[in-house]
Structure 1
Amino acid sequence: MSFSRRQRFLRARTSVRAARQFVGDTLAEWDVTERRDDIRLCASELAANAVLHGVPHGREFAVRLWWDGGLFWIEVRDSGPGGPQVQRADLEAQCGRGLWLVTTLADEFEIRDEPVGKSACAGFRLAQA
């Protein structure tokens, strides 16, 4: 069985839920239960960030899941310009907390420049790796 999986999604708000479902289904297939809610929440936040800020009109984004040693990784890649910024929103703000949540819940977080666009990656240390 391969412990790497990738799926592409349309630039649409409904794709955030579809990406979270893809991650949840993959975790279930791979028998991963540890930190499942954290992983799914981070997948939602990274996908939402791609849809709202990263994916150009008419394009898609990709979600890739894989194991690297004891880390389970989620990567969300889009072809848009610029890079996401981790912010700490004030209490009254209606948005701006997504990447802060990801960096708080994940054990590793990085943004990688790609030949076209960028990838946001979150890694989770899991005992069952």
Structure 2
Amino acid sequence: MALILRIETSTTICSISLSYKNILLKNINCYNLYFQNINILHLFIIKIFPIWNLEFLFLDAIAFNNGPGSYTSLKLGLATAKGISYALNIPLIYFNLKPSLKELYNNLFLLIKDKDSQSNIIYF
């Protein structure tokens, strides 16, 4: 697979990236204090393609994060990915953030702040 659009909406950071043969072409991130990913996700997707003079038709697959994270935000990412995948008849790939981090780092502590400004520590 060559050109993949990756959607990450599991946290307050909404991230869209475009990669070609595992080389990152462009990444767009935005931090939302109150999980307002629905307001910016589709704008980011439209904005990322003209940078490289690409169109949706050139996509080979769509990847999205399936957890862990906010249920509503994950559902938004899945619905967007499924819609694009179905319209273009391309494969849908899911990835999981926690095992990916565990493979990269042997012992990792992650400090995450939620919307109530409480800190949670996750150990991998």
TM-score (norm 1): 0.33
Q: Which has the larger radius of gyration?
A: 2
| Structure of greater relative contact order (alpha carbons < 8 Å, 6+ residues apart) | 1
Q: Which has the higher strand share?
A: 2
Question: TM-score, normalization: structure 2?
Answer: 0.34
